[in-house]
Amino acid sequence: MNWKDRPTLVTGAGGFIGSHLVEALVSQGARVRAFVRYNSRGDVGLLSLLPAVKGEGLEIIAGDLRDPHAVAEACRGVTHLFHLGALIAIPYSYLHPRQVVETNVMGTLNVLMAAREAGVERVIHTSTSEVYGTARMVPISEDHPLRGQSPYSASKIGADKLAESFYCSYDLPVVTIRPFNTYGPRQSARAVIPTIITQALVRDLIYLGALTPRRDYTYVEDVIDGFLKVAETDRAIGQTINIGSSQEISIGDLAQKIINLIGRNVKIVTDKQRLRPERSEVRRLWADNHKARDLLNWSPRTSLDEGLLMTVDWISRHLDRYRPGVYQF
């Protein structure tokens, strides 16, 4: 597919994955409208790190997903809509479940309604592997039952089902992409890999929560490739598609791997404030990515070691953006 001059909207554009997606689309010539949450500081999030933020092909619009008028205005004239906007921090959802539901569920409803009204040709709705809850069978296929073990995951289940309903009820050309744990440059210390790296670089103790949960990590450039392939594949319309490496590793083993890559003698300590409620902790996520391989001809190209090395390199050069050891939720 030729993205040159294609009018495209990205919600959540100032976030980790969103900023990488904007960068990829602009580099391919798309005319990108980046929807970021308004704040009085004029802060555009991680878009400020992109050279493209000062170039052509990028229009930044500030608003709020909960405002249907703002969303409708952002949708006007676009052919493709990548919906990544969400409140994603699980610990934050324990504290403010209403705000999370309003943003993730009602915000998604506003996006879907605006896309339908504007006649958008393709809507790519972003889900999360958290909607599966602790794996009942592995690897996890798209047919795995959904379980809301946190207000965040419950809100994303609601958003996913809204997307499904708009495809079934209104023929809206929606695809739901379901990334497993994405990592890479620019990611905040809200996520575990930057949390480990920042502490391992400068501290003798690494404070973490539970070490036994197992996760499936995919490098951000591979995830972005999945987003683009979903948008370019007509057979994907109406489908939900996992994007994951199809490999799993425990948090403890991941931490040790990062420590070995960095080469410092540090110790891991359990920090009680980082532990999630017992029934809310998702114990195991391991992606079955056969559908992405078969339908999209997608597969991850970056090994975990390669991706971690690139992430360590970026974080070490931008350590001033982090507060090692401070629990960021």
- Return the active site residues: 152
* Tens digit of each residue's pLDDT (9 = 90 or more) over 180-227: 999 999 999 999 999 999 999 999 999 999 999 999 999 999 999 999
DSSP state, 103?
A: I
What does the block give as tokens for 238? 């109406």
What does the block give as tokens for 266? 């540090």
Whether 311 shows a pLDDT value over 70: the answer reads yes
Let me know: does 146 contact 272? Beta carbons within 8 Å.
no
Q: Interhelix angle for 304-317 vs 251-262, to 10°?
A: 60
What does the block give as tokens for 138? 């592995």
Collapsing DSSP to helix, strand or coil, 29 comes out as: coil
Give residue 321's pLDDT band: very low, low, confident or very high (50, 70, 90).
Answer: very high
Tokens 């009942």 -> residue: 136
Look at the chain and count its residues: 329
Mean pLDDT is lowest, of 76-80, 104-108, 273-277, for: 273-277
Q: How far is CA 84 from the centre of its chain?
A: 7
Which domains can be identified in the chain, with CATH numbers?
7-182+218-243 (3.40.50.720), 188-215+247-285+302-321 (3.90.25.10)
What does the block give as tokens for 70? 């703002």
Q: Answer left, alpha or beta for residue 83, where phi above 0 means left and psi between -120 and 50 means alpha.
A: beta
* Tens digit of each residue's pLDDT (9 = 90 or more) over 53-89: 656 789 999 999 999 999 999 999 999 999 999 999 9
